[in-house]
Amino acid sequence: MNRLNINKKWDYSDALEATDHIILKEKYDLFINGEFVKPNSEKYFDTINPATDEIIARVAGANKKDVDFAVDSARRAFKSWSKIKAKDRGKYIFRIARMIQERAKEFAVIESMDGGKPIRESRDIDIPLAANHFFYYAGWADKIEYAFPNKTPKPLGVAGQIIPWNFPLLMAAWKIAPAIACGNTVVLKPAETTSLTALKLAEIIQESGLPKGVVNIVTGAGQTGAEIVNHPDVNKIAFTGSTAVGKLIERSLAGIEKKTTLELGGKGANIIFEDAAIDQAVEGIINAIFLNQGHVCCAGSRLFIQESIVNTVIEKLKDRMSSLVVGDPLDKNTDIGAINSKEQLATINKYIQIGKQEGGEIYQSKCNIPKKGNWCPPTLFLNVSQSHAIVQEEIFGPVLTIQTFRTINEVIEKANNTPFGLSAGVWTEKGSKIFKLTQALNAGVVWANTYNKFDPASPFGGFKESGIGREGGLHGLKAYLKFE
């Protein structure tokens, strides 16, 4: 009997994270010019805990006038922020990083309440990585001329930044830290289902003494994002989100001199060879697809198993899936939390139906699913091929498709046969195979014998419909500079 089966007999005791230290306002205003201000629109919308369906707070919905005000304060702040000593810019950013660390627990709990991700992930991944990004770019602030020798890098001006709901604080950090380190100012819009940690970050920014208007945070839905994109006084657009919206943005910016970075969807291939360390690979496959309920643009959502080990890998995968705990995001035992919104749950369920209709063989682990909230058990599909919609399209949920292969060339062809090009994973003992695949796979990041590892020093971004440009590392600085 497999060792993992023993786990099935265990019953975990509840390990709930406390929420009594969390202070949330009933209503959140916009953060413009260093102050929380009421929206000109006078509109507020609910932000809902996806695990309980309860309203956590109300958040302002910014209209065109609000965006104008935010861009205007960012423009005014740019005059002095771009001129102050680079070392001083660095000091402010270091301060923000340290304040995030000090309040890490609070941020982790709010991230899980507002977005549905397991507290283990928000505590161990999202919040520490967000602080790391501020630390990393704080260090660059006074060294930018050394990063680009023999050039004269200059900031761009006002950066409009639009982020998604899957890693809310982390995406805010990815956007804000390099932009302000280079001397730009920022108008950032969080996603409508997960605005709270960005607004908490606004509190930190206010407390940090960062000059007014350097960072402005406007909340709202897609229309607010479009107002930022189309604003004539914005010099740069950084967007992370769906390929559909990315294409819209690209179209509306065609022919206009605005630097753009787009980090869009993905359909990552995770490839396991017969010589891989199977148990480690299975753990990696689980992490690749089920991290953050599969709401990850670089998720390893297409698994390719070499034919000789198919039965072993599938048996171990099913076994491991049966031990995953689905439920309360605030419980430290939880592996898979709540699906971020009712809309996203409907999308995932639509794809599960399509997968079945197209002849895929579905396997879902049996787990206790809470009555309220948005849930999807870990799911895999066998008997699928390249032409299936669930193999070609991004689902953004805990759904893995499984295909097989015999030779390296066959798997390279299958892995690259996708409109996307964001990420891939390779599991093998052979270094030579790793080198061959990292060259041949058309993906911005290829992990070898690991998956979903992020580091502020490492550039991230995609090819094809996965986007344009890179964030992180030196590449991430370049995206916020012009060279004269």
Tell me which residues touch ligand ADP (CB under 6 A).
162-164, 189, 191-192, 221-222, 225-226, 229, 241-242, 245, 248-249
Three-class SS state of 285: helix
Strands 44-48 and 35-37: unpaired
CB-based contact 265:242 (threshold 8 Å): yes
Strands (E), 215-307: 215-217, 236-240, 259-263, 269-272, 302-306
Provide the residue type at 38 as one letter: K
Our CB check for ligand ADP shows the closer of 97 and 296 to be 296
d(CA 243, CA 253): 15
Annotated catalytic residues are 263, 297
Using the CB atoms, write b or e for 213-248: b if 16+ within 10 Å: bbbbbbbbeeebbbbbbbbeebbbbbbbbebebbeb
Three-class SS state of 282: helix
In the bound complex, what is the minimum distance in angstroms from residue 246's beta carbon to ligand ADP? Answer: 7
Our CB check for ligand ADP shows the closer of 162 and 286 to be 162
Q: What is the DSSP letter of 373?
A: S
Residue, CB closest to ligand ADP? 225
- Listed in sequence order, the residues at least 6 apart from 94 whose beta carbon sits closer than 8 Å to its beta carbon are 134, 135, 138
Our CB check for ligand ADP shows the closer of 294 and 360 to be 294
Q: What is the DSSP string of 162-226?
A: E--SSSHHHHHHHHHHHHHHTT-EEEEE--TT--HHHHHHHHHHHHHTPPTTSEEE---SHHHHH
Quick one: tokens of 52?
Answer: 């309980």
Q: Which residues pair with 44 in a beta bridge?
A: 60
> In terms of Cα–Cα distance, which of 434, 454, 393 is closest to 171?
454
Q: Which residues pair with 16 in a beta bridge?
A: 331
CB-based contact 134:85 (threshold 8 Å): no
d(CA 9, CA 84): 62
> In terms of Cα–Cα distance, which of 361, 100, 75, 344 is closest to 205?
100
Our CB check for ligand ADP shows the closer of 221 and 448 to be 221
